[in-house]
Structure 1
Amino acid sequence: MDIDSIVQGIAIYALPVILAITMHEAAHGYIARHFGDFTAFNQGRISLNPAKHIDPVGTILVPATLFVISKMTMGAGFLFGWAKPVPVNFANLRHPKQDMLWVAAAGPAANLFMALIWALVIKLAIFMPIGDFTKPMILMGIAGIEINVILMVLNLLPLPPLDGGRMAVSLLPHRIAYHFARIEPYGFMILLVLLISGVLGFIVWPLITFIKLMIVSFFGLYV
């Protein structure tokens, strides 16, 4: 096991992971406030301060453990994690069913925005004179794109309580939406089964790869 490469990998991925999760959760709270729910605002959760959103297990322990294990077994780091969910009381929204769509979509949209920002970081690093910070900037930018695209695609899956599931509830007719929303208590169990069975990877990895290639092509990145 190459300890140095693991430590370097964690150092490269730490900031992109924390920013991706923080921006995702803060975006939910901000859009919820815009549509009339001040729950997250009143709890101080509409903030870019990572300390407000970090879950010791989901934001630190699980991603770090997955990264180390995947590095040891596959030679490549794999990350997955979560933050403390921003509280949203959908009943407080001015039009709960319709506004739920925008509140849910805010998280994945924030991840797409962050992926584009990291692509700009890579572009900037490429044009900078070669120095001590150039390679780390490029590696961190690559990590930032990958992490944010993965989070975006996973959260867009139409499975409650993921954002895609809430978006589906918003768009479906009331009667169907009611029955579909009842899946929520079992959502993460279903997601875990899909992950272990390999079905999840079969579904999401082609989308993740396609979106990453689109971003790389748009910015003319060849790294």
Structure 2
Amino acid sequence: MDFLQSIFRVNLNVLPFYLLAVIISFTVHEFAHAYYANKFGDPTAKLLGRVTLNPAVHIDLLGTLLLLIGGFGWAKPVPVNRDNFNRPRLMGIIVSAAGPLSNLLLAFVTTLIYAMLLHFQVLPGMENQRVAQAIYLFINALINLNLFLFIFNLIPLPPLDGYRIVEDVAPTPVRRKLQQFEQWSIFIFLLILVIPQVRAVTIEPLYTLAQVIYIQFLQFSFYITGLFGA
């Protein structure tokens, strides 16, 4: 057990709930990309069966495993052909942003549900506290993971969504120069994953920022649920 714990970044007691949260979060993220790409006139994702909430078509096993071990990973990227858009840059930005924003929305909705469960004494009032604890662990994992994915995917490094947004915003000459550095992105991520000192100043602060957003969401959610009375 100690050996397994040393491998996974996530505590083994929380691992099943975290894994379920990963599957849901990655699926929603990639579905959002596929849905808006198809909505704006690019049928590529739809033809590949990606406009669906079926996790089987979105989850990448290696990417999921690395998220559990290293703290970040990936799902199967949704192929997008921007040439099919009427306004390639604008619609490209929206399609790229749809993934992270879907994670932010999912985190907020889950936080609101959590606040309601507490406000109306659903969780505290459960006779089976083991079930209540399991619900809490899953909700906590789902919120924190989605907030992290929202922040992480907005980093302007390829192949993250933040880079694609910057690429669509940048003038053509700048865009061409940016594309010359795409080949080095894998090495940057390997450095982050392997070297603890680099990770400490890159990935770890993202978790701290996610916690700050979580607290703000929670306070706002308690305010909203308080409007409904006891």
- Confirm or deny a common fold (TM above 0.5): yes
Q: Secondary structure at the match of 1:161?
A: coil
The structure 2 residue matched to 1:117, chosen from 109, 126, 150, is 109
Q: Secondary structure at the match of 1:8?
A: coil
Instruction: Report the Cα offset of residue 51 of structure 1.
Output: 0.7
TM-score by length of 1: 0.83
Which whole-Å CA distance do the structure 2 matches of 1:45 and 1:161 have between them? 19
TM-score by length of 2: 0.81
Asked if the contact 1:79/1:147 (under 8 Å) is kept, the reply is no
Which whole-Å CA distance do the structure 2 matches of 1:96 and 1:170 have between them? 8
Please, which runs of 5 or more residues in structure 1 have no aligned partner?
A: 67-77
* 1:27 maps to 2:32: yes
Aligned position for 1:62: 66
Which whole-Å CA distance do the structure 2 matches of 1:194 and 1:62 have between them? 12
Asked if the contact 1:121/1:138 (under 8 Å) is kept, the reply is no
Matches within 5 A, 1:78-93: 79-93=71-85
Instruction: Report the Cα offset of residue 182 of structure 1.
Output: 2.8
The structure 2 residue matched to 1:212, chosen from 206, 214, 221, is 214
Aligned position for 2:92: 100
Tell which deviates more after alignment, 90-99 or 150-159. 90-99
Q: Larger radius of gyration, structure 1 or 2?
A: 2
Asked if the contact 1:125/1:138 (under 8 Å) is kept, the reply is no
Number of residues paired by the alignment? Answer: 208
Asked if the contact 2:30/2:78 (under 8 Å) is kept, the reply is yes
RMSD: 2.4
Change (3 A) 1:63 1:159: closer
Aligned position for 2:49: 44
Residues 28-69 of structure 1, C-alpha deviations (whole Å, 9 max, x = no match): 01111111111001111111011111112212x3344x1xxx
